């Protein structure tokens, strides 16, 4: 990774920007983005640079396939904000939404164990 990722609250000062302002007050997203949905960066340097540091951080973190929950935890951003920003990035062609890894409507045991393990590390 190039440089440090911007992490809200890393310096323990109150955030200057409220989470809802990062999304322009939007709470809805156009893609199916469950906490276990996998996403990955398509081509990080293809288009013009992103102006929002949170979006740049998401693109950087997603160089390796991640779940929505992992991205939220790694960047210390609210899940709802991450979902809206991921949807915007998918619409821009910056990331690809791969789905949850299960098609039967029931998650695989291994997936549930990974999610539980990640929650315990928080």
| Residue 17 clears pLDDT 60, i.e. is over it | no
Q: What is the pLDDT of residue 69?
A: 93
pLDDT in tens, 86-122: 998 998 889 999 876 555 556 677 777 888 888 887 7
pLDDT in tens, 28-79: 666 778 888 899 998 755 666 777 888 889 999 999 999 999 999 999 988 8
Cα–Cα distance list, 58 to 27, 44, 65, 79 (Å): 18, 10, 11, 12
- Within 1-122, strands assigned E span 38-41, 66-67, 95-99
Q: What is the pLDDT of residue 74?
A: 93
* Contact between 106 and 44 (Cβ < 8 Å): no
Out of 10-14, 20-24, 34-38, 94-98, least confident range: 10-14
Q: What is the pLDDT of residue 72?
A: 93
């Amino acid at each position: 990774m190039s440089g440090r990722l911007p992490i809200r609250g890393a310096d323990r000062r109150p955030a200057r920007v409220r989470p809802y302002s990062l999304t322009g007050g939007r709470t809805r997203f156009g893609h199916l983005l469950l906490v276990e949905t996998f996403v990955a960066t398509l081509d990080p340097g293809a288009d013009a640079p992103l102006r929002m540091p949170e979006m740049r951080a998401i693109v950087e973190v997603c160089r390796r396939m991640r779940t929505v929950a992992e991205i939220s935890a790694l960047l210390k951003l609210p899940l709802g904000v991450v979902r809206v920003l991921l949807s915007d990035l998918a619409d821009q062609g910056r990331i690809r939404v791969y789905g949850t890894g299960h098609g039967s409507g029931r998650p695989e045991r291994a997936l549930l164990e990974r999610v539980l393990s990640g929650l315990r590390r928080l």
